[in-house]
Homo-oligomer: A and B are copies of this chain.
């Protein structure tokens, strides 16, 4: 059983979805590992992780609209010192989460046909965000010995 970790930095330019499927795929292939568990972790409290449809960009528009309805800027929040987008950002992060995993099969992420992996930036201004990719698994030969 092997493991590898890497940190990727994502420069966001305000609220929206930022796809990280490609660097994640690249990382998994680079490990040479055949089968295992890939995890993603977001080190922030006002941006989060999501696996969602990567075909029609309208879906992303609607996901952002939906989050705004659930955590409106004009809500009855008491934590307002960091701006009107901050507390809604924390709530949206609570609802979507900062840790997720994807199985790895035959050396590739086992995403469904329409699934992409996204960082969702909930703040209005640009930020630099850190995401940790981690992979635990067996190489091809090792895997067959291990079973």
A interface residues, Cβ below 8 angstroms from B: 1-5, 35-37, 39, 41-45, 50-53, 56, 58-59, 61-63, 65-66, 69-71, 75-79, 81, 87, 90-91, 93-103, 105, 110-115, 130, 132, 134, 136-138, 143, 146-147
Contacts and interface: CB of A to CB of B under 8 A. Distances in A.
Contacts of A39: 37, 101, 103
B76 A146 contact: no
A5 B103 contact: yes
B62 A66 contact: no
B45 A58 contact: no
B43 A93 contact: no
4 closest residue pairs by CB, A with B: A43-B112, A58-B79, A1-B1, A45-B53
A63 to B, nearest CB: 6
Number of copies of this chain that the complex holds: 3
Given A43-B111, A71-B66, A110-B43, A99 B51 contact: yes
Q: Which has the most chain B C-beta neighbours within 10 Å: A42, A50, A76, A77? A: A77
A70 B91 CA distance: 11
A90 B5 contact: no
